[in-house]
Amino acid sequence: MKTEVELPQTLWNQLARLAEQRQKTVSELIAEAIALMLSCQQPALSREERKRRALSVIGQFPAEPDLAARHDEYFSLEP
């Protein structure tokens, strides 16, 4: 499938140099970059799922009993 994309000149120049270095076409590099980007995408979680995950870790980690009230003080302490 063909499509047309406008790129800033500096980006085109970088892409053309990279294509030459890798002995590939610019089209091949663009297709590889898009495939990589799409493979890294995670489906968006619903609000309910994000809430369920956040609530599932409550109490799972040790903390000072007054951390919620004094968190600014704790963060300002020297390590």
| Separation CA 39–CA 33 (nearest Å) | 10
4 inside domain: no
Question: What local confidence, expressed as pLDDT, does residue 17 receive?
Answer: 97
Does this model's pTM top 0.95? My answer is: no
**Cβ count near 16 (within 10 Å):** 13
* 18 domain-assigned: yes
How many Cα atoms are found within 13 Å in the side-chain-facing hemisphere of 61?
Answer: 7
In this structure, is residue 28 part of a structural domain?
Answer: yes
How many structural domains compose the chain?
1
Residue bearing the bigger pLDDT, 23 or 79: 23
Within-domain flag for 1: no
pLDDT in tens, 20-64: 999 999 999 999 999 999 988 878 889 999 999 999 998 888 888
The whole-number pLDDT of residue 62 equals: 86
Asked if residue 68 lies in contact with residue 59, where contact means CB atoms within 8 angstroms, the answer is no
pLDDT at 78 over 80: no
| In-domain check, residue 39 | yes
With respect to residue 32, please indicate whether it lies within any of the assigned structural domains.
Answer: yes
pLDDT digits (tens, 9 = 90+) for 3-23: 999 999 999 999 999 999 999
- Domain of residue 68: give its range: 9-76
